């Protein structure tokens, strides 16, 4: 990379790791408060802390890491022109202005509305305007990426696009189509309502528009991890990409099936016809297919690589994977965590079982396995080579060892915290709740032990965060100068040629839009037709 490019990609990384520190600290405070052994100082509200945690880690950290990492992938595979670089910086600054507005509004206690900002909870208008700016900034980044691929395609007529550039384009297309939902809700519903131009808000519509965005949001987090699993990890283990076509096909399926599924977050909500809930649940289960394709493909890569190296016994190839290389180990543990995490997702999406776990802390356990372990450990795994590559430094054996320790600390902390959350959820323990004895009750007595376990897990995780921030600072500023590889895997020599149809964007985007219209048109008309009078705001703190 040129210095100019590296500076842009690193700018996104700085925001990521500052967010990790702030958001992680808030997470620690929450588990401590919920244990009942600690109260927040200076009258700070539990929901302010919870909102900072969710927004900073779920929305800010993820978006900045993903956009920065994806820019680097595009730069490496299709290149970036000076003009595109300038527009990319514009996207960064628009996002920064939005992030600061949102963060300040939350920190002064004017937006304790959680990261889902469900109506009728109402925040100060600056919160919504800040969010709108973050979304607009990310759209600018998306269009830079689309332009990068377009320019490359024009210069390489008839050639298939580089796999990673194709994957980034899919992820940004999904993000763009999905964020239209939340952007319209923010612009049409929340901003006028928070400014006092309208008195009431259609709660069901706002939640529907949020979840139209909210599920693809989690896939927006997951797909960059898949990019690493498919096309980078094979190189790290000394192998090749298993199948270019399979990788592209699974990304296309994820684009098609990640969006028309938001109702699986609204299964308990009245006002949506059960037929449409059923249809969206069926579509949800379709998302499992590309995920299982991914699992198959990764294992196939592991095995083929090992066998090529001459390990013939049944599992010899598995034993010889580079377990001592943190660039492999951290994402691998992320993959393993996705087995229980994904199984939990299937429980969530099954209507009857959803009735048991909805709004319990089981759900929090689910996304700490999927987002905070599978995705984040893969992002850490990427950081170990991306940051030194950008700063012209090296991941030394000592830093690699510290990275392995970090990975184990994270795994142990998360296993304790997320495990306790799952069990407490099955016992009915609510999510998003301050410590309370709920006026006594036998069941409540059982929750306390699990809440304590969460505080222990949360404390271990915070140590992991401190170590990760230390590693980031070392890799960015102090590690010895040198060259760190940007590991892009080549395709197997005997691979079948990739069918041209996989790059027919009109077809795949067309099917995606058709599926969205099918899954959402009638329910949205229903919501508008039977629209309740709307809800008046519920300002925070209550009674203000
Ligand atoms: Fe989820 C709630 C359903 C995946 C994140 N989810 C959430 C929330 C978040 C979230 C943040 O249906 C909370 C939202 C809120 O605040 O209210 N989720 C699913 C389903 C999947 C799923 C069906 N979720 C994710 C991913 C996330 C994520 C990924 C973040 C990155 N989720 C739900 C539902 C709810 C929900 C409901 C709402 C609950 C409620 O009532 O509120 C599926 O995509 C999962 C498919 C995955 C698999 C696993 C495949 C395994 C693989 C690993 C391979 C391993 C290898 C290594 C190769 C079927 C790919 C093996 C090594 C060995 C040694 C064996």
Q: Which atom of ligand 1 is nearest to 116's Cα? A: 16
Mean pLDDT of 506-515: 96
d(Cα 131, Cα 471) in Å, to the nearest integer? 30
Give the pLDDT confidence of 441-477 residue by residue, as tens digits: 888 888 989 999 999 999 999 999 999 999 999 999 9
Q: Which of 367, 377, 378, 430 to mutate to test the pocket of ligand 1 (most atoms within 8 A of CB)?
A: 367
Is 366 among the residues known to form the active site? yes
Residue 255 domain flag: yes
* Residue 542 banded pLDDT, cuts 50, 70, 90: very low
What percentage of the chain reaches a pLDDT higher than 70?
Answer: 98
* Residue 531 banded pLDDT, cuts 50, 70, 90: confident
Asked whether residue 196 carries a pLDDT value surpassing 80, the answer given is yes
d(Cα 264, Cα 266) in Å, to the nearest integer? 5
Quick one: tokens of 220?
């927006």
pLDDT score for 16: 97
| CATH code for the domain of 112 | 1.20.210.10
Q: How far away, in angstroms, is 438 Cα from ligand 1 center?
A: 30
Residue 490 domain flag: yes
Give the pLDDT confidence of 144-157 residue by residue, as tens digits: 999 999 999 999 99
Is 264 among the residues known to form the active site? no
Q: How far away, in angstroms, is 416 Cα from ligand 1 center?
A: 18
Q: What residue's CA is closest to ligand 1, atom 34? A: 348
Residue 541 domain flag: no
Residue 361 domain flag: yes
ipTM, two decimals: 0.93
d(Cα 20, Cα 56) in Å, to the nearest integer? 8
Is 432 among the residues known to form the active site? yes
Residue 494 domain flag: yes
Rg of the chain on CA atoms, in Å:
23
d(Cα 129, Cα 111) in Å, to the nearest integer? 12
Q: For residue 204, what are the contacts with CB-CB under 8 A and spacing of at least 6?
A: 269, 271, 272, 527, 531, 532
* Residue 540 banded pLDDT, cuts 50, 70, 90: low
Is 422 among the residues known to form the active site? no
Q: How far away, in angstroms, is 224 Cα from ligand 1 center?
A: 15
Domain count, the chain: 1
Residue 146 domain flag: yes
Pocket of ligand 1 (CB under 6 A): 116, 218, 221-222, 264-265, 284, 287-288, 291-292, 294-295, 298-299, 335-336, 338-339, 342, 345-346, 348-349, 354, 358, 363, 366-367, 370-371, 375
Residue 88 domain flag: yes
Residue 103 domain flag: yes
pLDDT score for 539: 61
Give the pLDDT confidence of 227-282 residue by residue, as tens digits: 999 999 999 999 989 889 999 999 999 999 999 999 999 999 988 999 999 999 99
| Domain extent for 523 | 3-532
């Amino acid at each position: 990379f040129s210095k100019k490019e590296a500076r842009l990609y690193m700018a996104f990384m700085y925001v990521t790791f500052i967010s990790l520190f702030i958001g992680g600290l808030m997470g620690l405070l929450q588990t401590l408060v919920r244990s009942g052994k600690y109260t927040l100082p200076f009258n700070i509200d539990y929901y302010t802390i919870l909102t900072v945690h969710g927004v900073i880690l779920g929305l800010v950290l993820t978006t900045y890491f993903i956009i920065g990492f994806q820019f680097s992938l595009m730069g490496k595979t299709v290149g970036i022109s000076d003009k595109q670089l300038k527009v990319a910086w514009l996207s960064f600054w628009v996002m920064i202005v939005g992030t600061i507005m949102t963060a300040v509004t939350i920190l002064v206690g004017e937006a304790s509305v959680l990261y889902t900002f469900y109506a009728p909870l109402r925040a100060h208008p600056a919160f919504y305007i800040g969010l709108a700016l973050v979304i607009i900034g990310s759209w600018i980044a998306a269009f830079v990426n689309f332009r990068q691929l377009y320019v490359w395609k024009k210069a390489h007529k008839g050639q298939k696009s580089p796999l990673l550039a194709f994957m980034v384009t899919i992820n940004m297309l999904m993000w763009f189509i999905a964020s239209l939902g939340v952007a319209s809700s923010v612009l049409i519903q929340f901003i006028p309502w928070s400014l006092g131009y309208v008195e009431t808000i259609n709660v069901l519509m706002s939640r529907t528009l949020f979840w139209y965005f909210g599920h693809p949001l989690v896939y927006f987090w997951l797909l960059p991890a898949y990019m690493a699993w498919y096309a980078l990890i094979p190189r790290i283990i000394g192998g090749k990409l298993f199948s270019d076509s399979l990788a592209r096909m699974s990304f296309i399926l994820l684009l098609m099936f990640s969006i028309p599924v938001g109702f699986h977050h609204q299964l308990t909500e009245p006002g949506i016809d059960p037929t449409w809930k059923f249809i969206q649940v069926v579509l949800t289960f379709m998302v499992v297919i590309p995920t299982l394709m991914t699992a198959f493909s990764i294992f196939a890569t592991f095995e083929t690589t090992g066998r090529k190296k001459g390990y013939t016994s049944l599992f010899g190839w598995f034993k010889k994977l580079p377990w001592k290389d943190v660039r492999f180990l951290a994402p691998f543990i992320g993959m393993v965590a996705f087995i229980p995490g994904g199984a939990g997702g299937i429980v969530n999406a099954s209507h009857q079982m959803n009735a048991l776990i909805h709004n319990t802390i089981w759900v929090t356990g689910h996304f700490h396995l999927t987002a905070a372990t599978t995705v984040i450990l893969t992002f850490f795994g990427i950081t170990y080579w991306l940051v030194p590559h950008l700063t012209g430094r090296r991941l030394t054996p000592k830093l690699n060892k510290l990275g392995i320790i970090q990975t184990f600390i994270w795994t142990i902390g998360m296993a304790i915290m997320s495990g306790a959350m799952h069990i407490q959820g099955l016992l009915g323990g609510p999510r998003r709740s301050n410590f309370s004895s709920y006026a006594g009750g036998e069941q409540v007595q059982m929750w306390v032990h699990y809440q304590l376990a969460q505080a222990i897990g949360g404390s271990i995780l915070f140590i992991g965060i401190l170590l990760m921030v230390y590693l980031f600072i070392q890799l960015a500023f102090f590690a010895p100068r040198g060259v760190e590889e940007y590991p892009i895997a080549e395709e197997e020599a005997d691979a079948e040629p990739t069918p041209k149809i996989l790059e027919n964007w009109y077809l795949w985007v067309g099917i995606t839009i058709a599926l969205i219209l099918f899954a959402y048109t009638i329910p949205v008309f229903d919501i508008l037709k039977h629209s309740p009078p709307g809800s008046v705001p519920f300002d925070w703190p209550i009674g203000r």
